[in-house]
Structure formats: C-alpha cells, structure tokens
Amino acid sequence: MVFYRNFFNFFVIFYFRMENSIGFCFDLDGTLINTTEIGDKIEKEIYKKFNLKIDDKTEREIEELTYEILQRENRNNLGLKLMWEIFKKLDLNFFQRIKALLISSKIFKEELKKIKLFDGVKEVFRFLDEKGIPYSIATTSSQKEVDDRLSKFPDLYAKLQEKIITRTNVQHLKPDPESIIKASKIMKLPLNRVIMVGDMHHDIMMGKKAGTLTIAVLTGIFSKAEILKYEPDFIIDSVAKIPKILPEIIHKLSFN
C-alpha cells in the first residue's frame, strides 16, 4: 500500500513538474482562426461567376494541384500563385484569370472582416493560463496581417503580445525551424519541451526538424489522410481537444 501511495505521489509530483516545464507553439491561420475557409468561399463565387461546372475529376486535380503548390518552399505570394494555377486548370483565359484574381482579392478582403476564432480557442488559452503553461505563435503571415486579424479579438491579442513570431521576424520560413527556435526562447524552454500545433505539413515538419512534439489539427486545409503522411505525434479535430489530451502529451514528452 505504502509503495503504491509513494508511487502515486511521485507520479503526481512528476506530472505537475512536467506541466510547469512545457510550452505550446501554435500556428495561426487554420489553427486558431478560420482564415483558411475563405478559400472555399472564393471557389464558390468564381465557379458561379464564370459558370463553371466542375466534375469530380477536375475537383480532384485541383485538390492535388493545391497540395503540390502548398508544398513548395518559396511562399511569397503563394496564395496568388495558387489561385492563378487553379484558374488555369479551370481553363480560364488570361483576361478571365486577371478578372478572377480581382474578384478573389475583393472576396478575401470582405471575408477577412468576418473571421472567427475556432470554437474552444478562448477556453484553451484560459486553461493554459490557469495551469501556468506558456505559449507562443509561429506564423508565416506578416506582422501587419497578424495585427489586422488578431486585433478583432482584443482579449486574446493582449495575451499574445510579445509572443508572436511572424514572417517579418525571421529569415527562413516554415518548415525551417527558425521560428520555433525563436518561440522556444520566448517561452524559455528547451525544444524538447515544446509542442508545435498546426494545420499544415510545414508546421509538423518544422516541429520535427526542431525536435518538438507535434500536434496536427484538422480545422485547416489538410485532411486527416494528407497530414498523416507527415507523422505528427497527435492528430486532433481542433485545438479545443488539447486540455483533454494533456496527460497523453505529458506522458509522450516524458519519454522524449
């Protein structure tokens, strides 16, 4: 009995020590905010505008093309490049493509005003605050984009001040580990005590390169089957599941 109690005490102490020495690094778009859904709206509008009928085959080809373009390392204006290629695939001529780009950028601006935090995001940050678990953000969006987006959520934005690494702060974008290394320094934690949470392969690849634990969320662009190829340590529906799996995360980290 004494042995079990001691073991239990040891476990409890160990668990709470671990809780105090881990930190989460979150991606932003598709992980905390629903900016990635804007693409679906643009697609619908363009199909309507140019009276496009898309069969399953073209739909699949566009999905593959999107996936292929998103894997490219150079991501300056990637959104524009992606749309241009999709419009080509849809057989739009040069002038139609220009028009489609203008329509897309208008929709993008309109939709950006309506962006939301995913369900449970506020609660997760409250949970981490209560536990004293540090957090940071590593995003490929620019400082201005981040300011524009997050200023809509003042409470969260206030919590995240000085904790956000944007593309403006680094020389090398994800999947290069530069941003997560900076994030770990902000949290004053070694990389093997950091958990990278993101919706895309670049988030997972970056975490793995840096030696962090990785969690993929399915709120962004990638399906479960697509993200599975990058072998994240966990795949969860959304960040809202983090409190529930925290014991498993700690268990896994303790063997890192």
Residue 233 as a binder of Mg ion (CB under 5 A): the answer is no
Choices 16-24, 78-86, 110-118, 194-202 (CB under 5 A): range interacting with Mg ion: 194-202
Give the whole-angstrom CA distance, residue 69 versus residue 60. Answer: 14
Measured at CB, which residue is nearest to Mg ion? 30
By C-beta, is 100 or 219 nearer to Mg ion? Answer: 219
Among 43, 145, 199, 233, binds Mg ion (CB under 5 A): 199
By C-beta, is 199 or 233 nearer to Mg ion? Answer: 199
Give the pair of three-digit tokens for residue 213. 């634990």
Q: In angstroms, how far is the first alpha carbon of the chain from the final one?
A: 30
51 sits in the region (left: phi over 0; alpha: psi -120 to 50; else beta) called: left
Name the phi and psi angles at 32, rounded to 5: -105, -35
Residue 27 as a binder of Mg ion (CB under 5 A): the answer is yes
By C-beta, is 165 or 200 nearer to Mg ion? Answer: 200
Choices 16-24, 25-33, 159-167, 211-219 (CB under 5 A): range interacting with Mg ion: 25-33
User: Taking the complex as a whole, how short is the minimal distance between the CB of residue 213 and Mg ion, in angstroms?
Assistant: 18
Residue 29 as a binder of Mg ion (CB under 5 A): the answer is yes
By C-beta, is 78 or 103 nearer to Mg ion? Answer: 78
Give the whole-angstrom CA distance, residue 16 versus residue 12. Answer: 6
Residue 145 as a binder of Mg ion (CB under 5 A): the answer is no
Choices 5-13, 14-22, 215-223, 245-253 (CB under 5 A): range interacting with Mg ion: 215-223
User: Taking the complex as a whole, how short is the minimal distance between the CB of residue 166 and Mg ion, in angstroms?
Assistant: 13
Choices 20-28, 63-71, 123-131, 149-157 (CB under 5 A): range interacting with Mg ion: 20-28
Choices 16-24, 38-46, 62-70, 197-205 (CB under 5 A): range interacting with Mg ion: 197-205
Among 22, 25, 30, 39, binds Mg ion (CB under 5 A): 30
Q: Is the peptide bond before 175 cis (omega within 30 degrees of 0)?
A: yes
Binding region for Mg ion (CB under 5 A):
27, 29-30, 199-200, 220
